[in-house]
Structure 1
Amino acid sequence: MDRLIEFAQANLLLSVAFAGLTVALVYTEIARLFRPFKGVSPAQLTDLINRENALVLDIRGQAEFEKGHIIGARHLLPSQVDPEGKLLAKAKESPVVVVCYAGVSATGVAQKLAKAGFTRVSVLEGGIGAWQQAGLPLAKGKA
């Protein structure tokens, strides 16, 4: 323990950076526990699509969507997501999964949907990249 204290004193900047990163990681994990939506893996998303006809919203840009998207996914830009709109109004009680490139931008849209009363909102963890890494198929072109 004495050596740890000695190291921390000799490397103050490194020690502060380590403490800051630790706090940030703990905060992120605690926030994840209390968010109003959940994360799903590619396998879980496949199950939701096949068993419960989940609505998959791909919020990437149009060009990215056309290069490859999950079969059956609907394309909407984050600014176009309207919880009361024609596409989403019927899905308040159904599973809705938001997909982006890496699973980060989708959280804002999922938060918006959950706040609007959607009860079964999820985000594809790792985004379309995780889907591809799992070796799952993509459709090309417009939906």
Structure 2
Amino acid sequence: MLLWPTLMRGGRASSVSVSEAVQLANQKQGVFIDVRPHERFKAGSIAQARNIPLADIDAKMSSLPKDKPLIVFCDQGRISGSAAGKLRKNGFAEVVSLEGGLNKWTEAGMPTSAKH
């Protein structure tokens, strides 16, 4: 409930800090969505993230859960904001962008893993 004002600020997809994203994932089973190209995702991403490149978001959004928060991210947080907005317009109520993207995540010392 502490994040609700952040999520609803301005009625648009907003961003959350690394610590807020972790809380959202842990407390509300938030799902991390990496919107970077597949090659970048394979090189390293947040361990439990799903890869849906921005180019594929329209085709694959139906596979995403509407009953869990979605935490969308890219490298720096620029592209993920537009992806989060698109998801919100398509009926996903709880969508946020990870502030600073994967760069901020790794700067904060959070774990990443290469995908095979």
Shorter-chain-normalised TM-score: which range? 0.7 to 0.9
* Corresponding residue for residue 66 of structure 1: 42
* Corresponding residue for residue 103 of structure 1: 77
Percent same amino acid at aligned positions? Answer: 31
| Runs (4+) off by over 6 Å | none
Question: Shift in Å at residue 82 of structure 1?
Answer: 3.2
TM-score, normalised with respect to structure 1: 0.69
Question: Shift in Å at residue 86 of structure 1?
Answer: 4.4
* Corresponding residue for residue 78 of structure 1: 54
CA distance in 2, matches of 1:107, 1:52: 21
2:96 maps to 1:136: no
Q: Residues 117 and 66 of structure 1: is their aligned pair in 2 closer, same or farther, counting only changes over 3 Å?
A: same
What are structure 2's unaligned runs of at least 5 residues?
1-8
> How many residue pairs are counted as aligned between the two chains?
108
Query: Which digits, 9 at most, give the CA deviation of each residue in 1:56-92, with x for residues without a partner?
Result: 110111221112111110001112113774421xx22
CA distance in 1, matches of 2:68, 2:32: 11
Query: Which digits, 9 at most, give the CA deviation of each residue in 1:89-130, with x for residues without a partner?
Result: xx2231001110100001111111111111100000000000
What are structure 1's unaligned runs of at least 5 residues?
1-32
* Corresponding residue for residue 36 of structure 1: 12
2:96 maps to 1:122: yes
Give the secondary-structure state (helix, strand or coil) at the position aligned to 1:135.
Answer: coil
Question: Rg larger in 1 or in 2?
Answer: 1
TM-score, normalised with respect to structure 2: 0.84
2:39 maps to 1:50: no
Q: Which has the higher strand share?
A: 2
CA RMSD of aligned residues (A): 1.7
Q: Residues 101 and 120 of structure 1: is their aligned pair in 2 closer, same or farther, counting only changes over 3 Å?
A: same
